[in-house]
């Protein structure tokens, strides 16, 4: 495994001493001096070698990621949909391929690339229309909490194993009575000597069933002047006494992605299980949520790009009234509208990705990206199903799966209604 990661880091660095630099110009150019085409003028919205925020190094990485998802994920996804989870073997293969912990610093045991490289992995997963692997949550939501706020011991214990795909991560925020309102959580951890005793339950936890370590959000000070001042994060490992995994939840979409209920009944945790400082958990969550929302938004846009290309290919083959339906003006206009909407969305999304690479993406802008992109994803899904006609309603057609998978996007990661509240709050603020 170590040798594999060293080889990966080596070719990622082949073009120079500072690959994927956040300080690099956003107007990347190829070695022969020609500027990279934007998706609007490319042959396909998923072409490799497009978009100015990326470099030829990213293209090499994208080719590798695309091959992995096409060969190691797509052929087995239907089976995983039946099982309600992907295989553990897949996680280890992803680790061997260098697709986990991509943006985690080398000093912490990660791959050490930039967030744009992570975006390559997010997008390539959506380009095969396979939502089962919870790689993005594991790598770019869970791991940053440990890398940014964990002790040296915690980092050494979890990050290398997570990068290798041998330790699967989850984060438990949502409860039966608390979703987007994180200040409404009831899971409680009280001190008992130097230990903590954790009680409560969580629901809708991605990677929950397969998880080896879970970041649990819990109240630790019920007397705090506000709920935000009394929340902490804990690392709870699978097999800990009192940590019970409930049923895998049956969903209308994301059928291969394991989603579970988690229960904590008098779980005794050592002081070393506390992640970061006591009662600082809410602030850690607020600091990391923009990346989570950016991730959801970029995957939504990538799904739009996949659905458009899938539908374009379909209408060019499907015949009605003696010719392909792509010759019908109403279909052509619908395709024109969708491509324009997607390309406009992609321009904003790439701007957000570059801002985040430069560490300048704020919460309000990330909320805009999440709300806009996930709404667009559902609009594009509806239109693409319509263009498929009755076949679009058949499960064996990729567009049907993309349609049901899209529906949850405006809900998790903070509902789009909450996103509008956050955006509006910034607009009317006098600060």
**Catalytic residue set:** 292
Exposed, middle or buried, 10 (CB in 10 Å: 0-12/13-18/19+)? exposed
Residues whose CB is less than 8 angstroms from the CB of residue 155 and which lie 6 or more positions away in sequence, other chains included: 108, 109, 146, 147
Partner residues linked to 171 by β-bridges: 215
Antiparallel, parallel or unpaired: β 274-275 and 231-237: antiparallel
Token readout for 12 is 């990622």
How far is residue 146's CA from residue 242's CA, in Å, rounded to a whole number?
23
Query: Residue 26 in 3-state DSSP?
Result: coil
CB 188 within 8 A of CB 230: no
How far is residue 324's CA from residue 326's CA, in Å, rounded to a whole number?
5
How far is residue 417's CA from residue 150's CA, in Å, rounded to a whole number?
32
Residue-by-residue DSSP string for 44-113 = STT-TT--TT--HHHHHHHHHHHHHIIIIIGGGHHHHHHHTS--HHHHHHHHHHT-SSTTS-GGGTS---
Q: Read off the DSSP letter of residue 320.
A: E
How far is residue 84's CA from residue 257's CA, in Å, rounded to a whole number?
6
C-alpha 427 chain-centroid distance? 27
């Amino acid at each position: 495994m170590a040798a594999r990661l060293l080889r990966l880091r080596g070719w990622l660095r082949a073009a120079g001493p500072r690959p994927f630099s956040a300080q690099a110009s956003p107007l990347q150019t190829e070695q022969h001096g020609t500027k990279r085409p934007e998706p609007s003028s490319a042959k396909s919205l998923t072409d490799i070698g497009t978009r100015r925020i990326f470099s030829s190094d990213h293209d090499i990485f994208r080719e590798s990621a695309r091959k992995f998802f096409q060969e190691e994920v797509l052929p087995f996804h239907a089976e995983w949909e039946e099982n309600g989870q992907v295989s553990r073997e897949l996680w280890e293969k992803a680790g061997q391929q260098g697709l986990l912990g991509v943006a985690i610093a080398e000093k912490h045991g990660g791959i050490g690339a930039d967030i744009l490289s992570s975006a390559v992995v997010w997008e390539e997963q959506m380009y095969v229309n396979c939502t089962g692997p919870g790689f993005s949550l594991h790598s770019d939501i869970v791991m940053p909490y440990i890398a940014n706020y964990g002790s040296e011991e915690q980092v050494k214990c979890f990050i290398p194993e997570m990068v290798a795909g041998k330790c699967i991560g989850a984060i438990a925020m949502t409860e039966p009575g608390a979703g987007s309102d994180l200040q409404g959580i009831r899971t409680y951890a009280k001190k008992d000597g130097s230990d903590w005793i954790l009680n409560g339950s969580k629901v809708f936890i991605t990677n929950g069933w397969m998880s080896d370590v879970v970041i649990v959000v819990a109240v630790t000070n019920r007397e705090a002047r506000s709920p935000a001042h009394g929340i902490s994060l804990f690392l709870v490992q699978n097999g800990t006494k009192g940590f019970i995994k409930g049923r895998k939840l049956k969903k209308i979409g994301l059928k291969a992605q394991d989603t579970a209920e988690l229960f904590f009944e008098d779980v005794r945790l050592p002081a070393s299980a506390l992640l970061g400082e006591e009662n600082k958990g809410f602030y850690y969550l607020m600091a990391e949520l923009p990346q989570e929302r950016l991730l959801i938004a970029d995957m939504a846009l990538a799904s739009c790009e996949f659905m458009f290309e899938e539908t374009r290919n379909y209408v060019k083959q499907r015949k009605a009234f003696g010719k392909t339906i792509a010759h019908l003006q109403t279909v052509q206009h619908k395709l024109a509208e969708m491509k324009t909407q997607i390309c406009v969305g992609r321009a904003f999304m790439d701007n957000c990705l570059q801002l985040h690479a430069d560490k300048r993406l704020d919460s309000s802008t990330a909320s805009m990206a999440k709300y806009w992109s996930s709404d667009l994803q559902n609009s594009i899904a509806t239109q693409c199903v319509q263009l498929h006609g009755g076949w679009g309603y058949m499960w064996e057609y990729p567009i049907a799966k993309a349609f049901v998978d899209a529906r949850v996007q405006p809900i998790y990661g903070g509902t789009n209604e909450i996103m509008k509240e956050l955006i509006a709050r910034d607009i009317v603020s006098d600060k």
